Structure formats: structure tokens, C-alpha cells
Amino acid sequence: MKKIIYQIIRLLLFAIFKIFFRIKINGRENLPDQGGVIIMSNHISAYDPPLLAAIFSRPVRFMAKKELFENPILRFVLFLADAFPVDRSTNDITAVKKSLSVIKNGEVLGLFPEGTRRPEGKLGNPKAGSVMLAIKSGAPVLPVGIKNVKKDGRITVNIGKPFGLEQFAKKRMSKEERKEASQFIKAKIQKELNYQE
């Protein structure tokens, strides 16, 4: 039943974004039809999670800051979305294990690797936790660039080809290698933000 409700809400959200934000999507076919995958997107507004949930036919599981679960209404919405909490003030091992479980179960995990919202056009560096999660899971990463949310009233979402991080997969990574992996992910997202038809 929850899955049916999720899809109904997803379609309603898509209609809202289509009508009021004239949403334009490039590359939606790049999401694999099955198997665990991580969506990594820039984060510029509160619209981003429902936006990503709306545009993909596969359900997207989000890791959300634990403070959001303290609001009864938001907690219910997050329950319907199958989101799970993360404590951003510490290394939340429980949230990491849950994320790996989502991917192992062949589901779609949605992450905003910058860790917080940033102004459009100022893409931040992915946090170490997001980078290590992507590497450890071995799942393909789908880069997404969200643009124009507050500029001309038309949201554009560019979805790139999935990529892997096999070259960084080793038991121990130096600080420099972690930084290199972070910049590699950032460049993939930046490419979608610079996408030109």
C-alpha cells in the first residue's frame, strides 16, 4: 500500500513541478532499470528531494537530517518516502549501514554529497562520508545537476551517465586519494550543471 501511495504522490509532485516550474529533464533514461544505484546531486533548495523523487519512476530513498523527523507532519511524509535519519553532528554508523543495506537490496539511494544547501552556481566539495559510502558500496553513481530554481521560474534537471569509482576502491586511502575521489565526483556533477543542448 505504501508503494502505491508513494507513486500517486510522485505523479502529483511531477504534475506540480511541470505546471508551476515548467520542469525540463535531460537524460532521465540514464537511471538503470534495476540494481542498487546512488543518485548524487547538487543541493540548492528545499525543492530538491521531492523534485528528484518526482522525476524518477523508481522510488528514491533519501537520508534526511534527524531534526526533520521531530516535526510530526514531516515525519509522516518522510515515512511515506521511506527516508531514514542521519545525525550530521557525528559519524552516524547506523545511517551508513542503512544506506549500504538500501543499495545492497537493489534500491535507489538519493544523496546530496555537499551535505547542505549551497547557492546555485557555487558547487561545494562532496563530504568524506558520501565519497566513502559510494566507494564502499561499489554501486554506480548517477550524477545530477539541478538548475534555475530561483532564476527564471523554470527548473532544469540534467542527468548524466552512471559512473563507477573502482579506481578508488582499496582498503586504505590516503588523504590525497580521498580528496581526488571527492573532486572526481564533483566534476561529474559540475558537468551536468554546465550541460548545453
Locus of grid cell 559519524: 91
Q: Which domain holds residue 121?
A: 1-193
Q: What is the pTM of this model?
A: 0.92
- Tens-digit pLDDT profile for residues 127-179: 998 999 999 999 999 999 999 866 666 899 999 999 999 999 876 788 899 99
pLDDT of residue 150: 61
Contact 39, 108 (CB under 8 A): yes
Give the DSSP H/E element, type plus range, for residue 90.
Answer: none
Please report the DSSP string for 111-173 in residue order.
E-TTSS---TT-PPPPPHHHHHHHHHH---EEEEEEE-SSSSS--EEEE---B--GGG--S--
C-alpha 110/C-alpha 97 separation (Å) is 15
* Contact assessment for residue 41 and residue 144, using Cβ atoms and an 8 Å cutoff: yes
CATH number at residue 65: 3.40.1130.10
Per the structure block, which three cell numbers stand in for 35?
540494481
Q: What domain count does the chain have?
A: 1
